[in-house]
Amino acid sequence: MRRRLPALVVMLSLLRAGRAGEKLSEYFIRRLLPILCGLTIVLPASAARSANLQIEIAPKVSGENLQPASFRYQTSAGETFSITRVSYLVSQFALQRDDGSWLEISNSVAWLDFEQDRNAIRMDKIPVGEFRAVRFTIGLNANINHADIAQFPATHPLNPNVNGLHWSWQGGFIFLALEGLWRNSSGMMDGWAYHLARDTNAVRVTLAVPLEITNETKVDMDFDLGVLLNAPHPFAFGKDGSSTHSRAGDPIAAALVKNLPGAFRIRRVTQLSAAEIALAHPTPLYLPERFTPYEFQVSLTFPIPDLPRDNPLLVERVALGRQLFFDQQLSVNDRQACADCHAPEKAFTDGRKTARGAEGEFGPRNSMPLFNLAWKKEFFWDGRAKSLREQVLQPIQNPIEMHQSLTNLVVKLRRRQVETLPEKSKVGNQKSEVELSRLTAVTTNRDYPAWFTAAFGSPEITAEKISLALENYLFTLTSFNAKFDRALRGEESFSAEEQRGFELFSTEYDPRREQFGADCFHCHGGPLFQSQAFANNGLDSEFKDFGREKATGKPSDRGKFSVPSLRNVALTAPYMHDGRFKTLEEVTEHYATGLHRSSTLDPNLAKHPNGGVPLSAADKCALVAFLKTLTDATFAPPK
């Protein structure tokens, strides 16, 4: 089943109401859409005077700032280890009054993540007064933990696309994810991953502190991982185990629950400066006087995406972006369009090992698929682009790819007409013929300035507007109607082999606890079958392409690349950032026998035996069979 984003449903219903409704819908985009930007935690309006409270929690190790990916830490058994991930959910904040009663702060929940630099929660409309303690929970109560994830707004901390902590098809959230590498007794690099979850493992923390809430109050707090891993229960990976998924009776989970309350302390209480509390409220760019809101459809199982509030989806803008995407005039020699490296019938890839440019030169990396981009935060294999509008201009200018200067492109579009769209432009759009005709009929004028006028309210053509139009179009390329989705809805059934593959995909490999799955879901979990992370998946021990390190400059990111979606994976061969694997069978074999260890290998792979997760020939075939159920017929080549 599909759903429409609530804001767009309102706009469309207003449009259908007639001329007055159309004006209201324009007002909605111009005035209201920019402020629909996330969760505000509030208390009842009965408070006479109120203030704002911000709590920042910094990860520490034995009192010092956490140094990510650094082998400077030791367990109680003398094992050297690093910490690469600290991600957790905090909820149920409360303040204790001087009379001992508690002020419960409703709807208070935060996702904090060290790598993503998320370390704060802001709570508004807190009653002014004096308090003597702060209380919160690491984790969630049972009702929220098992709530329908599709209800959470795009920027809500419990939106799985935001936090990456939802336990996929098993249900519930991971409350605390700690990961890293360690050296085992033989000196080999190994991985450790402690994932605390399940209702019974939510941990309440209470900290005494004299706290006066006046106007803008800030509480700085430390989360000491050295304490968490040592007191009162000292951990040793060799003895206790290097992973937990918090199954019933798991001793590692029980020890984490016991250690957590003592790992937090309050460092100081201050008042926020004006600069710290300033909030940006972007407004829509270049809205024409008349426009048509675009009906963006999304699966009921998908989280709500955080679409840019300064570039709302408009039919006129999507139509222009679609024209530009298939127009070979974007290249220096008028021989290559975006669609030549991102063919719709190949799930917007090109079938080549690495991409070929307009002048015949081959680049160093494989062409990435272009669907469900509304749920991505960073783009390219190394994540160097932070938005789609930034991403789309880079291939145009890249000398190996389209080799076109933006100045020259603007001049060309001012002088030339739009090209007739190829038949393949209809593929992968989730749109009916009526909707496609609607996009094409934005204007009957063949000149690009007329198309820009319809999309932006002015015939002026700029590189920025080109990027905004392409961004609009690319956001509409969604995929959520594979056999997997139909099976989930009860419309089709898996074969026995496909069902076995799904079980392998969704189960961890943990022989100590008699779990023998393929452990795929850690990196490719949830309805999108992707994560926002960048990972070293063991392709090499020495790197020709440094991957994410090129974008961040961090040696700890060496060999890491974007984790792509597995939807439509049967259409997107060859595989990996350099296209080294021709078939899904080769990919499966890599994870079973071909993993190479290095200092940045993802902990969820490093914890497995040398080579990878041992799988039988039948299980490898079952995994491939399941992966093929993720193919959306909308993207399949026309027959």
Report the pLDDT value the prediction gives residue 187, as an integer from 0 to 100: 83
pLDDT tens sequence across 193-211: 999 999 999 999 999 999 9
Question: Tokens 């992973």 belong to which residue?
Answer: 243
Residue 329's pLDDT is 93
Is the pLDDT score of 41 beyond 60? no
**Domain at 483-635, CATH from 3.30.450.90, 3.10.20.90, 1.10.760.10, 2.60.120.470:** 1.10.760.10
Confidence check: pLDDT of 33 > 80:
no
Average of pLDDT values for 224-241? 94
Residue 423, classified by CB atoms within 10 Å of its CB into exposed (0-12), middle (13-18) or buried (19+), is exposed
pLDDT at 426 (0 to 100) = 65
Domain boundary assignment for the chain:
50-277, 283-475, 483-635
- What is d(CA 610, CA 594) in angstroms, rounded to the nearest whole number? 9
Average of pLDDT values for 304-311? 90
pLDDT on residue 284: 92
Provide the pLDDT confidence category of residue 216 given band limits of 50, 70 and 90: confident
Q: What's the confidence (pLDDT) of residue 352? A: 96
**Top-confidence residue, 521 or 37:** 521
Provide mean pLDDT across the span 493-512.
Answer: 93
pLDDT band at residue 31 using 50, 70 and 90 as cut-offs: very low
The pLDDT value recorded for residue 417 is 76
Confidence (pLDDT) at 189: 86
Q: Could you tell me how far CA 226 lies from the centroid of its own chain?
A: 29
| Backbone phi and psi for residue 300, each to the nearest 5 degrees, phi listed first | -60, -25
Q: What percent of the chain has pLDDT over 90?
A: 68
Residue 70: the pLDDT is 84
- Which pLDDT score, from 0 to 100, does residue 529 have? 93
Higher per-residue confidence, 309 vs 42: 309
CB 530 within 8 A of CB 563: yes
Sequence-ordered list of residues with C-beta below 8 angstroms from that of 143, at least 6 positions apart, any chain = none
pLDDT, average across residues 526-552? 93
Residue 357: the pLDDT is 95
Residue 353 has pLDDT above 90, yes or no: yes
Q: Dump the DSSP string for 283-326.
A: --SS--SS--B---EEETTSPPP---TTS--BHHHHHHHHHHHT
Give the pTM. 0.75
Confidence of residue 637 (pLDDT cuts 50, 70, 90): low
Kindly indicate the confidence band of residue 278, based on its pLDDT and cuts at 50, 70 and 90.
Answer: low
Architecture of domain 283-475: Orthogonal Bundle (1.10)
pLDDT over 80 (residue 504):
yes
